[in-house]
Structure 1
């Protein structure tokens, strides 16, 4: 037992296990480290971009009525460090209730529809009989 402990202690103290030249291991470590240093930043930028346009993609998929505003908020979020991204994500996920609006004349009896009035005025002003 004493002899085994002494031989293990000798091997550890003389660093016999680490005495190899390491030619292959060093080259492999260099290749892996350069690969990680070159690819990781691009992969990080790509993932950051994909995460920031996710609300926009979701809004397009759901045919959101305020798609352009969500797109703008996603773009602004890229420049302010992602502070607006959670708001854009919540906004893109919001489902507006389907409403059946009553006819214009039933909503405000006695008041004519503004669009009809404007359309009538335009046709009257372009009527050649009046001029």
Structure 2
């Protein structure tokens, strides 16, 4: 991977981090309303359902932030873009599609095949 590629991914990951943190902050603001303030059980259930959905989104954002930090650490340590499974370079196109990935296309496909077999 070229130094220009690394600089591109540094900036991309920084941007992703800012967006994920902003999204996380906005979901926390959405949780301020108390569902117990609704007298109608249907309204209360709807608010609880929305709250549960918001919490799931928040958890996804939290996990993404963690993965972004890990990717940034890999850039600093010089291991960014190297597959953790086989040690080969991960293609730039794959990294552009999923900048936090740790597996090349082939290793990810094998991992998913294994999950399909175990899930069956």
For this structure pair, what is the TM-score category when the shorter chain's length is used for normalisation? Answer: under 0.3
How high is the TM-score relative to the length of structure 2? 0.26
Q: How does the TM-score come out when normalised to structure 1?
A: 0.25
Higher relative contact order (CA 8 A, sep 6+): 2
